[in-house]
Amino acid sequence: MTAAIILAAGKSERMGTGTDKAFLSLVNKPVVAWSLLAFERCPDIDRIVLVVRKDQLVASKAVVKMFGISKLHAIVAGGARRQDSVQAGLDACDVDTRFVVIHDGARPCVSPETVSEVAKAVRRFGAVTVGRRITDTVKRIVKGSFIECTEDREKLWVVQTPQAFLMKTIRAAYMALGKSEVTDDCQAVELMGETVKVLECRQPNFKITTVEDLQLAGALLK
């Protein structure tokens, strides 16, 4: 059994006070609906758990019904931190879930093909993420905004979602974290000493954090 956890419980602070970017309109669909549809259309995903803000539970049910998300297993409220929302999603998965694919609902350009590639790769590697090579020159900056050094960009990638794991691995990783905080699920697994395979994603797969991002996504998805 492979389950997907779609995270849409963020604070959306850079979009403006009171804004929930997951439910903003993007080419006549809520942002989160694009991710839900990509996972719905992927044959390698069996069930979907949607994690949203507590005040969006009712709205989420309406979105799921409107777009015919038949694989939905549960809608649950997220927590204050991303990792708290992931844990809520993990807790909602069935006991027979062997693999879990975790995705940021604010990445609406994800395709069913990308989801499928990750879902298949996790069966071989146990921990997988998509990412992109960095092509710009990268500088390390110190206090006062001065350059300290130039990083070796050949070793640097921008990591995205979906990220997929053996269920027992990601559960153990979050249990081992304690009060520590991580910025993505791979980091939790890395801290436990596990290796993560990176698959290069050549399609647009950016995260919507600003109004400009929303406009760009709209142009790509028309």
The pLDDT of residue 120: 98
Rg (CA), the chain: 17
On average, the pLDDT of the chain sits at 94
The pLDDT of residue 163: 98
Hey, what are 176's tokens? 């081992």
Q: Can you give the pTM of this predicted structure?
A: 0.94
The pLDDT of residue 85: 96
* pLDDT value at 76 more than 90: yes
Hey, what are 216's tokens? 């760009």
Please tell me the total count of domains within the chain: 1
Q: Which neighbouring-strand residues pair with 188? A: none
Q: What CATH number should be reported for the domain holding residue 171?
A: 3.90.550.10
Residue 116 structural domain: 2-221
The mean pLDDT value for 111-130 works out to: 98
